[in-house]
């Protein structure tokens, strides 16, 4: 029963949101802006221990900005990660549960307040429990290389994900978000785990991409989507934490490879140096660009759009505004399409004359 009901929950939300639901934006980025220090293997999960109120505050900021879906702070929260910090298994499990409870509480508090306000334009948000890839736990940048080495096989990946998945599911999120999956093997592990554990909460599986064409491992998305396409438990598939300029062609590619909903939440375009653990400066995409992009991505068939690292509530506000106000968005998209064709023509001309 849960399966049908929850499936409707996600589809209802997308419908209510005008055909495309808005996911929140960078979590750690926003924590840092509020002064949290998170240069740590546990990343934002450290805040679950140190400052849970701040996590709730960031969730509320994204809700105010117009996010229809909150992603929990559990991306880097893993049981082995907590154990290595001296916490017991029980304490670790409580923290995982807390990541869901904090988002649910923020959602309920916000919705209670908003509902009293006639004429508001918000949707009751859903909570997606974040499940970071094995590479995110290793914290060695391998979620962007896809290289887990010869010792990591399907069973090992399933065992890594199993207990956390069980704990998160028990905490009662509306959705499950597998994030920055870098290779075919881990995608398959996630799908088999959902099956083995008989998980009836709808999931999305997102890959990262470093070349704009393939998974970070170099495997094609056709290969990566094989197992996913066979599973009814995965409702959406897509890309997170890749730069915005990769997204348009990847949506087109995914459209050809799957019937599932397409989900995209890129980073701001800045580059994370996994080894040095810092952001390298790069061409930044401001909120205006995100407005135009979001319109294009929706037109091309994405049903879930948000932001990843280095995007902020103002990015999400821009996306939400433009997606929920289609009149304005289509005008802008046309201008954008015109402008990019124009630029391409100019470029072609220059090339030709050389």
Tell me if 71 contacts Zn ion by CB under 5 A.
no
The least distance separating Zn ion from the CB of residue 71, rounded to whole angstroms, comes to 10
User: Per CB under 5 A, does 309 bind Zn ion?
Assistant: yes
Site string for Zn ion, 196-235 (x = CB under 5 A): ----------------------------------------
**Cα–Cα–Cα angle for 146, 194, 166, rounded to 5 degrees:** 100
Chain CA centroid to CA 163, Å: 21
CA atoms within 13 A on the CB side of 169: 19
Cβ atoms of residues 96 and 167 within 8 Å: yes
**Distance of closest approach, residue 81 Cβ to Zn ion, in angstroms:** 18
**Beta strand 126-132 with 175-181: parallel, antiparallel or unpaired?**
parallel
Closer to Zn ion by Cβ: residue 176 or 177: 177
Is residue 239 at the binding interface for Zn ion, with CB under 5 A as the rule?
no
Provide, rounded to whole angstroms, the least separation between the CB of residue 208 and Zn ion. 8
**Residue 91 CB partners (closer than 8 Å, separation 6+):** 82
Please pick, from the candidates 181, 241, 292, 319, the single residue that binds Zn ion as defined by CB under 5 A. 241
- 308, 318, 323, 333: residue in contact with Zn ion (rule CB under 5 A): 308
Cβ closest to Zn ion, residue 40 vs residue 195: 40
| Closest CB 308 distance from Zn ion, rounded Å | 3
Q: How far is the CB of 76 from Zn ion (least distance, A)?
A: 11
Supply the minimum distance, in Å, between the C-beta of residue 267 and Zn ion: 5
Distance of closest approach, residue 135 Cβ to Zn ion, in angstroms = 12
Q: CA quadruple 69, 46, 272, 185: dihedral positive or negative? A: negative
Q: 69 or 309: whose CB is closer to Zn ion?
A: 309
Is residue 17 at the binding interface for Zn ion, with CB under 5 A as the rule?
no
Q: Which is nearer to Zn ion, 44 or 101 (CB)?
A: 44
Q: Of residues 247-276, which lie at the interface with Zn ion (CB under 5 A)?
A: 267
Q: What is the CA radius of gyration of the chain?
A: 19
Where does this chain touch Zn ion (CB under 5 A) — which range of 42-50, 240-248, 278-286, 337-345? 240-248
Q: Taking contact as CB under 5 A, which single stretch among the options 51-59, 216-224, 301-309, 315-323 is the one that binds Zn ion?
A: 301-309
Instruction: Please say which residue, 78 or 267, places its beta carbon nearer to Zn ion.
Output: 267
241 is in an annotated binding site: yes
Say whether residue 23 binds Zn ion (CB under 5 A).
no
Q: Answer whether 159's CB lies under 8 Å from 89's CB.
A: no
Q: What is the SS3 assignment for 261?
A: strand
Residue whose CB is less far from Zn ion, 241 or 264:
241
To Zn ion, the closest distance from the beta carbon of 138 in angstroms equals 16
Residue appearing with tokens 């064709």: 341
The dihedrals phi and psi of 243, each to the nearest 5 degrees, come to -70, 150
Binding-site size, Zn ion (CB under 5 A): 4
Distance between CA 271 and CA 274 in Å, rounded?
A: 9
Binding positions are 241, 308-309
Binding site for Zn ion (CB under 5 A): 241, 267, 308-309
Binding positions for Zn(2+) are 241, 308-309
């Amino acid at each position: 029963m849960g399966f049908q009901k929850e499936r409707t929950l996600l589809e209802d939300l997308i419908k209510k949101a005008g055909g495309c639901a808005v996911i929140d934006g960078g979590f750690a980025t926003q924590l840092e802006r509020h002064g949290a220090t998170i240069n740590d293997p546990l990343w934002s999960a450290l805040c679950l221990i140190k400052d849970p109120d701040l996590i709730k505050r960031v969730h509320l900021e994204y809700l105010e900005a117009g996010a229809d879906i909150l992603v929990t702070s559990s991306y880097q929260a893993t049981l082995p990660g907590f154990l290595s910090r001296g916490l017991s298994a029980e304490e670790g499990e409580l923290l995982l549960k807390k990541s869901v409870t904090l988002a649910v509480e923020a959602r309920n508090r916000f919705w209670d307040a908003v509902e009293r306000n006639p004429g508001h334009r918000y949707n009751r948000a859903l909570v997606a429990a974040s499940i970071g890839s094995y590479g995110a736990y290793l914290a060695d940048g391998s979620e962007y290389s896809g290289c887990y080495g010869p010792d990591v096989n399907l069973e090992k990946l399933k065992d890594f994900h199993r207990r956390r998945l069980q704990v998160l599911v028990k905490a009662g999120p509306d959705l499950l978000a597998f994030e920055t999956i870098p290779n075919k093997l881990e995608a398959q592990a996630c799908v088999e785990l959902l099956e083995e554990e008989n998980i009836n909460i709808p999931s999305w599986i997102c890959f990262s991409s470093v070349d704009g064409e393939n998974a970070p491992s170099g495997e094609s998305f056709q290969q990566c989507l094989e197992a996913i396409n066979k599973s009814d438990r995965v409702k959406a598939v897509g890309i997170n934490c890749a730069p915005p300029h990769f997204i348009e062609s990847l949506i087109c590619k995914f459209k050809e490879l799957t019937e599932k909903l397409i989900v995209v939440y890129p980073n701001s375009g800045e580059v994370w140096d996994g080894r040095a653990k810092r952001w390298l400066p790069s061409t930044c995409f401001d909120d205006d660009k995100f407005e135009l992009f979001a319109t294009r991505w929706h037109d091309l068939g994405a049903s879930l759009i948000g932001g990843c690292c280095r995007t902020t509530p103002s990015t999400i506000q821009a996306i939400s505004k433009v997606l929920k106000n289609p009149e304005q968005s289509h005008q802008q998209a046309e201008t954008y399409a015109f402008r990019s064709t124009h630029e391409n023509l100019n470029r072609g001309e220059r090339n030709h004359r050389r």
